[in-house]
Amino acid sequence: MITKNDILENLKQIIDPELEVNIVDLGLIYDIKIDEQNKKAAVFMTLTSKGCPLSNVIKFEVEESLKKLEGIENSEVNIVWEPEWNYSMIKPEILEKLHKY
């Protein structure tokens, strides 16, 4: 049985090219719903900005990442804008490292 934590760990492989931090630690993943019966995962996420030029690339990477998970046969990636992403959503230890640069 796959868990939200399994999915989050898998999604940590996807790096936001602008900030060079994985999308989980950036706080871009808002929710994950798992339908075990239908072997489906739905990810609700945002991007650092509405005009992100790599939005399609990041969404594609999330979709591809989900396909690799055992127990998931169908996936859905939903880009949402509420709440609007901001730097306070970054994990504190990551934010501290970003401030050093």
pLDDT for the residue 19: 87
Which domains are present in the chain? Answer: 4-96 (3.30.300.130)
- Calpha distance 57→77 (Å, rounded): 12
Q: pLDDT (tens digit, 9 = 90+) per residue, 29-66?
A: 999 999 999 999 999 999 999 988 889 999 999 999 99
CB 44 within 8 A of CB 32: yes
Q: Could you give the 3-state DSSP secondary structure of residue 22?
A: strand
Answer whether residue 1 shows pLDDT above 90. Answer: no
Report the alpha-carbon distance of residue 79 to residue 44 in Å, rounded. 6
Q: How many other β-carbons are positioned within 10 Å of the β-carbon of residue 82?
A: 6
User: DSSP label at 74?
Assistant: E
Cβ proximity of 40 and 74 under 8 Å: yes
pLDDT score, position 30: 98
